[in-house]
Structure 1
Amino acid sequence: MTAQSLEGKVCVIFGGSGGIGSATARRLAALGARIVVTSHADLQKAQGVVDSLPGSGHLAAAVSITDSSALSDLAVKVQTEYGRTDVLVNTAGITQAVPHANLDALTDELIDQIFAVNWRAQFAAIRAFRALLESSGDGLVINVSSISGTTGQGSNIAYCAAKAGLDVMAASLGRALAPRIRVLNVSPGAVDTTFVPGRGADFNDKVAATTPLRRIGTPDDVASAIEACATHLTFSTGVTIVVDGGRRLN
């Protein structure tokens, strides 16, 4: 399969300094896109990713994804800098391991934070960039979901619910924003990052042993699926693409 060029396109990646975000930035930049890499608070980290990318014309930005006005300000900045946005990738998220049976440990504050960062922020980013994506004529939104949204097994119940909400959002916005914007979700299982605090090699080995393809995912596995959404799955919208090595089959 020959990679399709993204020459001339502008891709904004929220959470672009994280494992999946930076892997996605590298893949899309290699296809000719100009990349806007965002980090929640660490501009230096985002700049480090930008400096590592092939090509030129990339931009680092620090923005709080739970601040809707800051998201709107970033959209204005991207409009001023590039005059367009063609692809919006939402990889940002947070979680915390809480046993599902421990209802008291899943506090109201943690629930609100998880939904703010893992659902509301993605919606707000799409809302802020809608006009730019529509004017592209071939706009694309890609959200990073999780198989926990369908299996009900994940770091905590609120995280599972937020990811289920992202899958429903893809269906709703895939319908509402067509035909000028497509909306797709990429849904990984366990990925070898430091995303879940406290999980290390022992957890990864245990999950790998019970996954049909006998390994956990890498950031590049997820990034390659995001690349496919931007280059080959051009007649798809409103659906969630699973990239989990068969993990959900257990």
Structure 2
Amino acid sequence: MQDVMIVTGGSQGIGAAVARLAAARGYKVALTYQSNQAMADAVVADIKAAGGTAIAVRAEMADEASILALYRTVDETFGPLTALVNNAGTPGPMGRIDTVTTAILDTVLAVNVRAPFLMIREAVARMATDRGGKGGAIVNISSRAAELGGAGEWIHYAASKGALDSLTVGAAKELATRGIRVNAVSPGLIQTDLHARAGLPDRLNKLVGGVPMARVGSVEEVATAVLWLLSPEASYITGVIVPISGGR
């Protein structure tokens, strides 16, 4: 019986890399997208062309009803979940702390904190051994911003990722005897279009000088770490937050 994975925000960037690698390693993958169905469908098509199994599900991470509908779709299509990657997130607009509105905070915290919490809650109902599940593993996609603070740019984003780190540690301790491992990865400067979409296409080039390895990372390097944490090779690891940042 194949393992079943949900990757939120799986239509691009780190999420798409995780979805492709997971499918290549035998998972049935349900990847979510918010609005760009064409990008999500392209990832699914790539996976199927390589002999894997995947579906794309539209889901609004800020909406609980949408999350519940996502799980119903996965239950009906693939069966019980065994792996969850909480990747969907939003940085919100760049700005100093005195420019951050309540609306910005509400959106960032809903997508980056509340959604992973609800995703984990629903995963537990399916994975936990004391609820009839066969166990499983969860990886949250955090950010080095949680430790670096995001000053002058994205304090609101950094704070949300700090909360995600706390959720990771707490859930790992609570679920350890229920057959579920919970870990996180904390990417640093990774080559995605996030910076360009924020209007800062040269941001990586400007900051790479602060990386001891003197380069940015790739989404594939993040995906490899995620799949390792989900695998039996990491069976005695839970509650850790792995920096993927070239030493930054």
Give the match's secondary structure for 2:7.
Answer: strand
Question: 1:218 Cα shift?
Answer: 1.2
Contact 2:28 2:52 in 1 (8 A): yes
C-alpha distance in structure 1 between counterparts of 2:117 and 2:37, whole Å: 23
Question: 1:44 Cα shift?
Answer: 3.0
C-alpha distance in structure 2 between counterparts of 1:103 and 1:195, whole Å: 20
Contact 1:79 1:132 in 2 (8 A): no
- Unpaired runs of 5+ residues, structure 1, are 1-6
**Corresponding residue for 2:122?**
128
Match of 2:70 among 65, 70, 74: 74
Written as runs of structure 1 = structure 2, the 5 A alignment for 1:43-192 is 43-53=37-47, 54-99=50-95, 102-134=96-128, 135-153=132-150, 155-179=153-177, 180-192=179-191
Alpha-carbon displacement from aligned partner over 1:170-218 (angstroms, at most 9, x marks no partner): 1110011223111111001111112231121x32122222200001111
C-alpha distance in structure 2 between counterparts of 1:191 and 1:136, whole Å: 35
Q: TM-score, length-normalised on structure 1?
A: 0.90
Q: Give the letter for the 1:241 counterpart.
A: V
1:199 paired with 2:200, answer: yes
Contact 1:207 1:216 in 2 (8 A): no
**Corresponding residue for 2:225?**
225
Alignment RMSD: 1.6
- Unpaired runs of 5+ residues, structure 2, are none
C-alpha distance in structure 2 between counterparts of 1:212 and 1:96, whole Å: 28
Alpha-carbon displacement from aligned partner over 1:84-122 (angstroms, at most 9, x marks no partner): 1110001111114534xx333111111111111111111
C-alpha distance in structure 1 between counterparts of 2:146 and 2:169, whole Å: 14
Moved more, 77-86 or 90-99: 90-99
Cα distance change of structure 1 residues 186 and 83 upon mapping to structure 2, 3 Å threshold: same
C-alpha distance in structure 2 between counterparts of 1:113 and 1:96, whole Å: 8
How many residue pairs get aligned? The number is 238
Question: 1:55 Cα shift?
Answer: 2.5
Question: 1:136 Cα shift?
Answer: 4.1
Q: TM-score, length-normalised on structure 2?
A: 0.90
C-alpha distance in structure 2 between counterparts of 1:121 and 1:96, whole Å: 15
C-alpha distance in structure 1 between counterparts of 2:170 and 2:73, whole Å: 28
Alpha-carbon displacement from aligned partner over 1:14-69 (angstroms, at most 9, x marks no partner): 00002000101111111111111110123332121111013333111101011111
C-alpha distance in structure 2 between counterparts of 1:57 and 1:156, whole Å: 37
Contact 1:39 1:62 in 2 (8 A): yes
